[in-house]
Amino acid sequence: MIEQPKQATAHTQLHNRSAANRDFDPADVERVRKGFIAKRENGLITDEKDRFVVNSDNYEFLRDGRECPETVNPQLWRHATLNAHHGLFKVADDVWQVRGYDISNITFIRGTNGWVVIDPLTSEHTARAALELMDEHVEKLPTTVVIFTHSHADHFGGVLGVTTKADVDAGRCQIVAPIGFLHETVGENVIAGPAMGRRATYQFGPMLPPGPTGHVDCGLGTGVPIGPPGLLAPTTDITFTGEELVLDGVRVIFQLTPETEAPAEMNFFFPDHGWLCMAENCSQTMHNLVPIRGALVRNALNWSKYINESIELFADKTSVLFTSHNWPVWGTIDVREFLILQRDLYKWMHDQTMRHANHGMTAVEIADMLKLPEEFLAHEHTRGFYGDLVHNVKAVYQRYLSWYDGNPANLNKLPPTETGKRYVELAGGMDSLLASARKSFDAGDYRWVAEVVNHAVFADPTNTDARNLQADVLEQLGYQAESSTFRNAYLMGAQELRKGPPPRTASHVRARSLIRAMTIEQVFDVLSVRVMSEKIGGFSHCVNWTFTDMAGTPDHQWVLGLSNRTMYYIQGRHDADAAATITITRELLLEIIAQVTTFMDELTAGTVTIDGDAAALLNIFGNLDTFATGFAIVEP
């Protein structure tokens, strides 16, 4: 029998009661409600095949006025109830936002001939639902401009819900993005895509049932819609801070902020109106310096400097500040205070981590020791509802000093299964270890129990008592967590210990529009990660590639080869000693990578030709690994 979620223990109840002893700023409630016009009567949004995308009605438990349940940290509960406000909101004259149907916000600005749309959400279905609210309650206009603030999918993935490729190709809709957007969009997550996607289920908790013992929030918004993102390439790149454009009659001044929250990101100001968009460089929560799903570590120092630059450039002229998540801030005084606190938060985490690192402390020691000072705890937007100080400290440390803490004992540690077996033996056997762990559980020493019983699970993942005890302790840690991502991760771990991980299935590419935006180099980068080194010993040859639709560019000709069990590639030429030459279009290669078709089918159809030894191509493409979803995380 599968164990069900438990209630909060006395220790968790005490922890959460102590966390409730803090006054909330009532202005946040006013801000989140300000300008409300209307909401969708039916919170369920589906795709064209009537498949589930998102349902805001599942979170009515956050809106019914109940007291914070014992199974949720009161600070997180308060934040979740603010995020749960959904619908169409008027931000200022000629500015509207739709919030609460996606993890991100979509913003509409009235232009001369249509809508200037900022960040069209994750899914075309949520974006279209937002546009329908605008059609019904404001005005039905075409989309003339789309602005992507940065290179994360929840800010461009719904673009096909507000415009079409035909309109963009015909010049009826302009797409504006920071320089490097397209490269970073398809590059940041592609190499580690399968692993990152699996880990993201722990960060966002989409498989947790909504409710007080399950999914409550994602920090930046209530939840993430289900479905692949779309993408249309930008038609206009922003290349420098201070660049000014008139977009459908609306004047905009841009500020580039690379390597902050995203590798390619920008803030921008509307000088004729006093509106400031801070993209995702500011939110109503502490952000991640590296997300727990994984990503490149962000530059906390530069992040702080760019917010300071925003203060210098725009703060004194700003009447309303809005962001890609959460709710706006109105009034020049409040805007300046908000920006100063955000600036100082990221600088404080950077400086204090490195101060203690330079005293010889390790990342784990610093994360356990550092506590947010009262200056930040006193405000909603500088608390860790999405990012968490514990994880952010480790991110700063990693950026400068790597994962290694300097102790040689940690240079080449045993893997978890082997370590687990030896800890169980050291404890006097499984029964003895679990008996000791239960005493610690009863005493509320949950972090220690999680560490000890993790060894037991990895030593013997079939031991039901170990699995259930580890699930129980992760659950209590989740109930206590102020960070939504920590809560989701703990509760996902508990759920999978009780029910097992999801079935392992072939990892098919769903976001085909992202694949189709990849460069040839990025395609070969992805293929290289799939090379099964153990199967290609002794192979050393190369093949030439000619991409007939890339004539006149450096991508027209490539060399792809195997050397020392490794794939290499060279742009811009052919090798006279190549075993074969493949002639194909870039578009067709991307269709093959996206699993729309196969090499064999296209060879048969005559759309791909091979001149030379076809076996050389087979040696390369016949020894590529395949990845599966659903790999285990909290067990071997």
Question: Strand 95-99's sheet: what is its strand order?
Answer: 36-38, 87-92, 95-99, 106-110, 115-118, 143-147, 174-178, 236-238
More confident residue, 19 or 306: 306
Rounded mean pLDDT, 92-108: 98
H helical segments located in 516-585: 520-529
Residue 602 has a pLDDT of 92
User: To 5 degrees, how large is the angle CA 451–CA 452–CA 455?
Assistant: 95
Residue 507 has a pLDDT of 62
Judge: domain 10-400, CATH 3.60.15.30.
yes
Residue 626 has a pLDDT of 87
Residue 122 has a pLDDT of 97
Q: Which residues pair with 571 in a beta bridge?
A: 558
For 33-85, how does the pLDDT look when each residue is reduced to its tens digit (9 = 90+)? Answer: 999 999 999 999 999 999 999 999 999 999 999 999 999 999 999 999 999 99
Write down the number of H helices and E strands in the chain: 22, 23
Residue 506 has a pLDDT of 67
pLDDT at residue 496 tops 90: yes
pLDDT at residue 509 tops 70: no
Q: Which residues pair with 89 in a beta bridge?
A: 36, 97
Rounded mean pLDDT, 131-159: 98
CA 90 – CA 97 distance, rounded (Å): 6
Rounded mean pLDDT, 618-636: 90
Which residue, 24, 26, 31, is CA-closest to 83? 31
CA 107 – CA 162 distance, rounded (Å): 12
Domain boundaries, the chain: 10-400, 518-621
> What confidence tier does 593 reach under pLDDT thresholds 50, 70, 90?
confident
Residue 508 has a pLDDT of 56
Residue 3 has a pLDDT of 84
CB 296 within 8 A of CB 188: yes
Structure token pair of residue 7: 């209630």
Distances (CA, A) of 101 to 45, 138, 212: 8, 18, 20
| DSSP string covering 158-201 | TGGGT--HHHHHTTSSEEEEETTHHHHHHHTTTTTHHHHHHHHH
The model's pTM: 0.96
Residue 190 has a pLDDT of 81
Q: Which residues pair with 582 in a beta bridge?
A: 545, 610
> What confidence tier does 124 reach under pLDDT thresholds 50, 70, 90?
very high
More confident residue, 112 or 19: 112
Burial of 525 per CB tally in 10 Å (0-12, 13-18, 19+):
middle
CB 111 within 8 A of CB 247: yes
Those residues whose C-beta lies under 8 Å from the C-beta of residue 520, and which sit 6 or more positions away, are 545, 547, 550, 555, 558, 571, 586, 589
For 401-426, how does the pLDDT look when each residue is reduced to its tens digit (9 = 90+)? Answer: 999 999 999 999 999 999 999 999 99
Rounded mean pLDDT, 220-229: 94
Q: Quick one: how far is CA 321 from the chain centroid? A: 23
pLDDT at residue 552 tops 60: yes
pLDDT at residue 26 tops 90: no
pLDDT at residue 141 tops 70: yes
CA 206 – CA 226 distance, rounded (Å): 8
Which residue, 352, 361, 359, is CA-closest to 389? 352
Distances (CA, A) of 268 to 127, 274, 524: 22, 11, 35
Residue 510 has a pLDDT of 53
CA 526 – CA 186 distance, rounded (Å): 11
> What confidence tier does 505 reach under pLDDT thresholds 50, 70, 90?
confident
| Mean pLDDT rounded to a whole number for the chain | 95
Residue 215 has a pLDDT of 98
CA 224 – CA 204 distance, rounded (Å): 7
368's enclosing H/E stretch is: helix 363-369
Residue 252 has a pLDDT of 98
H helical segments located in 445-594: 446-459, 464-480, 484-499, 512-515, 520-529, 586-593
> What confidence tier does 629 reach under pLDDT thresholds 50, 70, 90?
confident
pLDDT at residue 391 tops 80: yes
Q: Which CATH superfamily is domain 518-621 in?
A: SCP2 sterol-binding domain (3.30.1050.10)
